[in-house]
Chains A and B, each alone.
Chain A
Amino acid sequence: MMQVLLLLDKSSHTLLCEDLRDKIVRTLELKGHQVDVCELDKGDVFQCLGCLLCLTKHPDECVNKDIVNELRKKVKQYSATFFLTPVLFGHYSSTMAGAINRGAGSHDWQVFIGYGEDITGEEKQTFIDLVSKHRGAADIVHPGMDRKVDVFVTMSPEDNSKICEVMSYA
């Protein structure tokens, strides 16, 4: 059994996102995993200062004391983190950036799932490349920091089901 953290952007809830969340939670629970769902509100999340003190002076702790800092402290207890984020211009949302850039993701397995009903082809590919070309095995700056990273984009409930099917074999 794995303990999984599922992070959502509370400020960007859509029907597609809710369908995705429900399906992902059901899929993971059916596999016997324990899923903790955490909804991040954009007004509550501090953004990364880029001070790098979390990499050097006090690992596992951010200078900004907010919900993301609490998640970061507990990061080692999770075997996987799922980031469910709207895709905006091919990027994750600012709220989710607050969590991603401040190291709230499990170092064992991170799954990025971007959603949106009007994402262009180029935005979809940008989002996929933003993750897959640089993170996990492709990370040349800090190789080995995040062991396994997966990325998906969904534009419909059918896409959600397909993603869950892949997850059920993972």
Chain B
Amino acid sequence: MPDSEMKTVCIINGSLRSKKAASLAFSRDLEQRLPADKFETISIGVKVRVKDHYPKTTLLKIACADAIVLVFPLHNYGLPGSLMRLLEEYYEYINSGGEYKKSRLYMIVNCAFPRPAVVNGEVVRVVRNFCKRLSLRWRFAVCIGTGPVVVMTRRVPLFYHTLKKAYADIALDIRSSDEELKNDYFIKPVIPEFVITAIRRHYERSGKMIEG
């Protein structure tokens, strides 16, 4: 049953690549599908090094959200260290008695490999474990293969129907009271795997690399 209330959505961009980040492009795409009359969106970034702690105001923004969306690149089949640090601090904050909403949680992970189902399984489990620890409401993951290629080609008409469906599903699900678990989405790039592999090998050899 859709909820008529305004929903607060906290989008956490776990990439440190600023404007070059595929995660930033996916965050913005999602934001565009969250109309301002129904959703208040808050964006949070991560830091390359945190000397002491993340500011309490940052943690409060996450704690007050009806929904949290983690958008990040896969690092070594796991979470980027910068995002892990933020999750550790949020966990500590809640464990030390900080008040928080039992937010609905989604993740959009992009990896360098064209087959998202093969490499993202464990990072999805890590985020699910995080939800269990904090009694957050895990919803589903959107796993994108070769994020930078998908960013470059995502405006091509008739492609990426599944990605658009995933964004729409996040927007719909945030407003829903449905608690039944949904299937994860897997988005493959339109460029064939052998072409992507050849390009990667070429750039690794020649001292360049596709921006990720």
Chain A residues engaging chain B, CB cutoff 8 angstroms: 42-53, 55-57, 64, 66, 88-95, 97-98, 100-101, 120, 122-123, 126, 129-130, 133-135, 140-141
Residues of B within 8 A of A122 (CB): 125, 129, 132
- By the criterion of a CB under 8 Å from any partner CB, how many residues of chain B are at the interface? 44
Which 6 residue pairs of A and B lie closest in terms of their CB atoms, listed nearest first?
A: A97-B81, A94-B85, A47-B81, A94-B84, A89-B129, A47-B82
From B47, B76, B118, B130, A140 is in contact (CB under 8 Å) with B118
Contacts of B80 in A (CB 8 A): 47-48, 50, 97, 101
Q: Does B48 contact A (CB under 8 A)?
A: yes
Task: State in angstroms the CA–CA spacing of A88 and B52 once bound together.
Answer: 19
Known: A50-B80, A94-B85, A130-B78. A43 touches B207 (CB 8 A): no
* Cα–Cα, bound, A19→B204 (Å): 42
Partner of A42 from the list B50, B75, B79 (CB cut-off 8 Å) is B50
Residue of B with least CB distance to A132: B122
The one of B123, B127, B133, B207 that contacts A56, using a Cβ cutoff of 8 Å: B207
Which chain A residue shows the least CB distance to B21?
Answer: A50
On whether A48 and B118 interact (CB within 8 A), knowing A56-B204, A101-B80, A120-B129, the answer reads no
Known contacts A56-B208, A94-B88; is A51 also within 8 Å of B17 by CB? yes
Whether B212 lies near A52 (C-beta < 8 A) is yes
Contact assessment for B203 and A56 in the assembled complex, using a CB-CB cutoff below 8 Å: yes
In the complex, how many angstroms separate the beta carbon of A69 from the nearest chain B beta carbon?
13
The verdict on B87 contacting chain A, using a C-beta distance below 8 Å, is yes
- Residues 100-125 of chain B: 1 if any A CB is under 8 Å from the residue's CB, otherwise 0? 00000000000011000011011101
- Known interface pairs A45-B49, A130-B126; 11 further A-B residue pairs with C-beta atoms within 8 A, sorted by A's residue number: A43-B49, A50-B16, A50-B80, A56-B203, A64-B48, A93-B88, A97-B79, A97-B84, A101-B81, A135-B77, A141-B112
With most chain A CB atoms within 10 A of its CB, the pick from B49, B91, B130, B208 is B49
Complex alpha-carbon distance, A126 and B133, angstroms: 14
Q: Are A134 and B48 in contact (CB under 8 A)?
A: no
Query: Closest Cβ of chain B: how far from A110's Cβ, in Å?
Result: 11
Instruction: Kindly provide the distance from the CB of B96 to the nearest chain A CB, expressed in whole angstroms.
Output: 16
- In angstroms, Cα B15 to Cα A101, docked, is 13
Question: Are B73 and A88 in contact, CB atoms less than 8 angstroms apart?
Answer: no
- Given A50-B73, A88-B88, A101-B75, do A123 and B81 touch, yes or no (CB 8 Å)? no
Tell me whether A90 and B125 are in contact in the complex, defined as CB-CB below 8 angstroms, given that A47-B49, A47-B82 are known contacts: yes
User: Do B17 and A50 have beta carbons less than 8 Å apart?
Assistant: yes
Q: Shortest CB–CB separation between residue A18 and chain B, in angstroms?
A: 21
Q: Does B209 contact A (CB under 8 A)?
A: yes
Docked CA distance A42–B51 (Å): 7
**In the bound complex, CA of A124 to CA of B204 (Å):** 35
A91 and B203 CA atoms in complex are apart in Å by: 30
A66 to B81, CA, bound (A): 15
The complex places the Cα of A42 from the Cα of B82 at a distance, in Å, of 11
Q: Is the CB of A57 within 8 A of B207?
A: yes
Check B52 against A94 for contact (C-beta < 8 Å): no
Chain A residues lying within 8 Å of B127, measured Cβ to Cβ, are 89
C-alpha spacing A148/B70, complex, angstroms:
32
